[in-house]
Structure 1
Amino acid sequence: MKTFKYIILSLFCCATGLASPAQALFPDSVVYQRIEQLAKETERRYAPDKRTAIFELHVADSNARLFRIVTTEPKAGEYFNQLLAGSTISSTNVTINLLPDSSIGGNIAGIVNLSVANLRVEPSNQAELASQALLGTQVDLLQEQNGYYRIRTPEGYISWVSTSSVTPKSTPELIQWREAKKVIFIADFGHAYTMPDEQSLRVSDLVMGNILLAGQQANGFVQVRYPDGRDAYIKQDLIRPFDEWLGTVNPTAEAVLKTAKTMMGVPYLWGGTSVKGVDCSGFTKTAYYMNGIVIPRDASQQVLAGQFVDILSADTLDTQKALQNLQPADLLFFASGKNRDPNARVTHVALYLGNGEFIHSAGTVRINSMLRDAPNYEDFETRTLVAARRYIRQSDPALQPVAQHPAYTLPTEKLHE
């Protein structure tokens, strides 16, 4: 499973530009300690999961002892101001920067323009890979800093991406993108070419799930346009009209598992969500997305969605109960380590195939069994199965059909409002 390693308090020393602990800047500051306390209280209430909501305390000026709150949650800012007003601290000591902010220049959305864009936990090429987003995906732009955008993905994941990976769109440009005919790449891998000829120069690689603007057909190719304006040609049999795909995609167990099996052997990649490499939850996310459902990003989030499936007795896996209650395409959730407490934190997820077998990304995408006498049982004994959830035919705000998701199909008239 993929998890974020966030810095809760980003503190910068104005004199050197280097990060420095708050205690070093304000070793005896009652003001700082009180502001930090109020910030933590607000964060616990309005931004408990930093993957989907931001509430950060920064030092704006260490000499003047001025502070800045950065948040995505308007109610959090209001609540913090109420707490501040009830304290002895002057409100002039703290400013609140609500995201999206002015650094994005009024372009509150952007479209990913690489086959696979890497999203990171901090605005740095050296930072940990948090997740990925595919070509043609619309993301919310929240902030720009050091050549990176802080963005929010369709599943609500907040992270940083290089500005070269995303094309910002004004409202008119976003309307034009929304209304234009598009295609979705349905093959595992492929390429786009400068001419309708596989011997011509390549424009880029492509992976399953990429979305581009559609143009004219020519000699078995379709002319396409990237979000950043590049033109190219793709073989017609590797794509489908996006609207047609939306109208026919059917998230059945059979369809989800069929997609999952096409990824057999794909290498494990921490933060990966494409056929170039997937982590465990990126694998389940991709299998469901290609069948028309946007699901939460991480295993610890996925375990909170869908319908509970009973597989335990006395907090321990009951194999007989599991075989009876589980259905294909149910999600299985694990904690690391043999004989771990079943209430331990979820660290891994798999898709149930049936007959005790499951498919998951562990080293590579592969199939294992929970049955002790099965030849592919060996990986199972290194983990503790702690929960199962059913997504198929479930109504849950966390499980969003692509056809109804605002990042893909929001009526353009709403953009005029």
Structure 2
Amino acid sequence: MKYGICTLALVPLRLEQAHRSEMVSQVLFGELFEILDEQADWTSIRLLETDYLGWIQNGQFQKFDNLDMQQYLSGKPILVGREGGILLNDTDRFQLCHGTKLYLTAENTVDFPLLRLTYQGGFNPFSKNQFETEVAQLALSYKNTPYLWGGRSQWGIDCSGFSQLIYSCFGISLPRDAYQQAEMGEIVDFISEIQVGDLAFFDNADGRITHVGIMLDRDTIIHASAKVRIDRMDTEGIFNAELNRYSHKLRIIKRYL
């Protein structure tokens, strides 16, 4: 197998090998992937952590062999904190977004065969046992972040990217898309049983799950729709007070702890 690692802060993952193609997700600095197909300007990849597929532009990553991979992964894993962080050396500087995963050496560096950078910035402080007490505050810190199809950061995020990112800060790995996330977890049978951090999923007229949000309490949800926003929710779905109508139809509620 051939591998690669993203060497820029945040790059598009395209459905097809063209800039005009749909951005299905984004690849963050340090994310590892399997190389499936190499073309003149684009490379088809499979992200190792989520199995997500897409095309990344050549020049936005560095190739890794098995030894490179083992050496990098032998470092201490950390997540960049909410305030962000910086990787730098004498000639390069990368502003990292919250939730970026790095494997740091004892000298606080990331070491690639062609690149060595020192990390400066905060670290994600949360663990899984802090989920119930801290998840709402972390999610609320994203309020008014603009919606971006395929986005995964504070600079633009979509609904499933939002839930995936927030959960990752508590050591809980979710797949990339809402319908995939809905296939995991345990069903919450009744609205009255909702707990903070539960995920609510919504479907379209064809019954396909297309939206997800994080419950703040039994009838309040935070989700990415035009922006990260807070709305009321009941057994019918999300009620958007600005539009004075229901914007999303409830399908199911899931719990992951």
Superposed CA RMSD in Å reads 2.8
Of 305, 327, 345, 2:208 maps to 345
Shift of 1:215: 5.1
CA contact (8 A) 1:251 1:293 kept: no
Shift of 1:129: 0.1
Cα 1:239–1:303 shift into 2, 3 Å: closer
Number of residues of Structure 1 aligned to a counterpart in Structure 2: 253
Shift of 1:183: 4.3
Report percent identity of matched pairs.
Answer: 29
The higher radius of gyration belongs to 1
TM-score by length of 2: 0.85
Q: Provide the rounded CA distance (Å) in 2 between the counterparts of 1:297 and 1:183.
A: 20
The yes-or-no answer on 1:205 pairing with 2:95 is yes
Q: Which amino acid aligns with 1:131?
A: S
The yes-or-no answer on 1:151 pairing with 2:35 is no
Q: Please, which runs of 5 or more residues in structure 2 have no aligned partner?
A: none
Q: Once the two structures are superposed, what CA deviation does each residue of 1:287-338 show, in whole Å capped at 9, x if it has no partner?
A: 111211221111121122111222xxxxxxxxxx41x1212111111134xx
Q: Once the two structures are superposed, what CA deviation does each residue of 1:83-103 show, in whole Å capped at 9, x if it has no partner?
A: xxxxxxxxxxxxxxxxxxxxx
Q: Once the two structures are superposed, what CA deviation does each residue of 1:234-260 show, in whole Å capped at 9, x if it has no partner?
A: 435x237xxxx79x5546233333332
Counterpart in the other structure of 1:273: 152
Counterpart in the other structure of 1:34: none
Q: Provide the rounded CA distance (Å) in 2 between the counterparts of 1:365 and 1:188.
A: 18
Cα 1:385–1:288 shift into 2, 3 Å: same
CA contact (8 A) 2:195 2:218 kept: no
CA contact (8 A) 2:203 2:210 kept: yes
Of 211, 220, 225, 2:110 maps to 225
The yes-or-no answer on 1:387 pairing with 2:252 is yes
Q: Once the two structures are superposed, what CA deviation does each residue of 1:334-353 show, in whole Å capped at 9, x if it has no partner?
A: 134xxx5xx72222111111
Cα 1:369–1:187 shift into 2, 3 Å: same
Counterpart in the other structure of 2:179: 300
Q: Please, which runs of 5 or more residues in structure 1 have no aligned partner?
A: 1-105, 196-200, 311-320, 394-417
Counterpart in the other structure of 2:5: 111
Aligned ranges for residues 227-306 of structure 1 at < 5 Å? 227=112, 229-236=114-121, 238-239=122-123, 248-250=127-129, 252-306=131-185
TM-score by length of 1: 0.55
Secondary structure, aligned partner of 1:150: strand
Aligned ranges for residues 35-54 of structure 1 at < 5 Å? none
Of 123, 135, 149, 2:17 maps to 123
Secondary structure, aligned partner of 1:208: coil
Q: Provide the rounded CA distance (Å) in 1 between the counterparts of 2:52 and 2:160.
A: 13
CA contact (8 A) 1:181 1:214 kept: yes
